[in-house]
Amino acid sequence: MSRKWISFPIREGECSLQAHCNMPPGTFEREMGREGFYGPASHLHHRHPPTGWVDWEGPLRPHAFNLAKLDVQGGCPWQAALVLHNNDVQVRVWKTATAMRHLVRNGDGDELLFIHEGAGDFYCDFGHLPYRDGDYLLIPRGTAWRIEPSSPTFMLMIESTDGAYQLPDKGLLGPHAIFDSAVFARPHLNDTFKAQQDENRWQIRIKRRGQISTVTYPYNPLDVVGWHGDNCVVRLNWRDIRPVMSHRYHLPPSAHTTFVANGFVICTFTPRPVESDPDVLKVPFFHNNDDFDEVLFYHRGNFFSRDNIEAGMLTLHPCGFPHGPHPKALKKSQENPASFVEEVAVMIDARHALEIDAAATSVEVAEYVNSWKSPGA
């Protein structure tokens, strides 16, 4: 079992004894931490909200993008719009209502599809798997696949470039907490899979180093008759996630980690009760995440810490400045807190700076930076 020596943080002036609880009256707590929420941290108590700016100049700023407005229809996932990227991760948006009559294979890294809207059938080397809204489909590098939507599909594609997806270490919670691996669904070599096998000409469009090569076969290459092993596509729906929570402490986003990759993590926020202790913070705390860029994709529900954010939008908070709840959300949490959070969102925490691509810029909400201003500023 992992363990650590007892140590005590430095204390100076008026401060709480427990992070996110019992703050000195009239103060606003800001966490300044390293390595996301895993490294050393200090909690500073301010007289004013750390996001109470009245003006902002320069390229570093919070961003919001309305991906629902992107016109990215296409019959191939390699036509998906690139919205954010660095050397570790590429985030794309793909909307389609057309059955793919070709296959694709990613030679650059694992692919994680998050189905925001739609339903249909997923076919790959390992068999057939139905999908629906709220599904994650984890596709190992080198897998040939295609989809046949039964309803228009809007998905987020998150590529772990030159890397693989793994599960987080759940530590004291044990391996069955948050979600048991038994909830993973896998493809099957069922009648639906066998029915799509034919002797017609098929293409596999292979992406490698960002370039597409096309290989043509005189038959459908999804002609597997059997397989064994432990490297295959898996499906996880947010509805199968049982979030960790405490009625006396607001847990950091790291408690909701779903997948871990090289240089970034994926977290899933799902519906949960709100903290009931009267002295505990009931919204995400102000924090400097000074080693990670934070991305949130809003899937559904009431986004309790944000104002004027809708399903299908994506926010980017680059490291280097404090962020936290919007002013209205903070005020409501103090005066009339909710008892339950009805929201589902996907978070990407990237260790290295993310570049904003043209597709995202075209649907940016320019006034988002001003939504953080102090009331009356």
pLDDT in tens, 34-70: 877 878 888 888 998 888 888 899 999 999 999 999 9
pLDDT at 230: 95
- Summarised one tens digit per residue, pLDDT across range 218-255 is 999 999 999 999 999 999 999 999 999 889 888 888 88
pLDDT at 375: 60
Write the CB contacts of 55 (distance below 8 Å, at least 6 apart in sequence): none
Write the CB contacts of 105 (distance below 8 Å, at least 6 apart in sequence): 142, 143, 144, 145, 204, 205, 206, 207
pLDDT at 302: 80
pLDDT at 1: 64
- 172 pLDDT more than 80: yes
Over residues 69-83, the mean pLDDT reads 92
- Summarised one tens digit per residue, pLDDT across range 106-158 is 999 999 999 999 999 999 999 999 999 999 999 999 999 999 999 999 999 99
Angstrom distance (rounded) from CA 166 to CA 260? 5
Angstrom distance (rounded) from CA 100 to CA 94? 13
Q: What is the mean pLDDT of the chain?
A: 92
Return the SS3 of 361. Answer: helix
pLDDT at 282: 76
- Summarised one tens digit per residue, pLDDT across range 259-268 is 999 999 999 9
The H or E element containing residue 283 is none
29: nearest Cα among 245, 276, 249: 249
H helical segments located in 149-212: 191-195
- 68 phi and psi, to 5 degrees? -65, -25
Q: Kindly indicate the confidence band of residue 373, based on its pLDDT and cuts at 50, 70 and 90.
A: confident
DSSP 246: B
- 377 pLDDT more than 60: no
CB contact at 8 A, 193 and 187: yes
pLDDT at 190: 98
**Domains defined for the chain, CATH in brackets:** 28-64+243-372 (2.60.120.10), 71-238 (2.60.120.10)
pLDDT at 285: 82
| CA distances in angstroms from 369 to 266, 305, 315, 355, listed in the order given | 24, 15, 11, 18
pLDDT at 227: 97
Q: Kindly indicate the confidence band of residue 376, based on its pLDDT and cuts at 50, 70 and 90.
A: low
- Summarised one tens digit per residue, pLDDT across range 290-343 is 889 999 999 998 876 667 789 999 999 999 898 888 777 777 777 777 888 889
Angstrom distance (rounded) from CA 48 to CA 50? 6
pLDDT at 263: 97
- 280 phi and psi, to 5 degrees? -105, 145
- 31 pLDDT more than 60: yes
Global confidence as pTM: 0.94
CB contact at 8 A, 314 and 293: no
- 213 pLDDT more than 90: yes
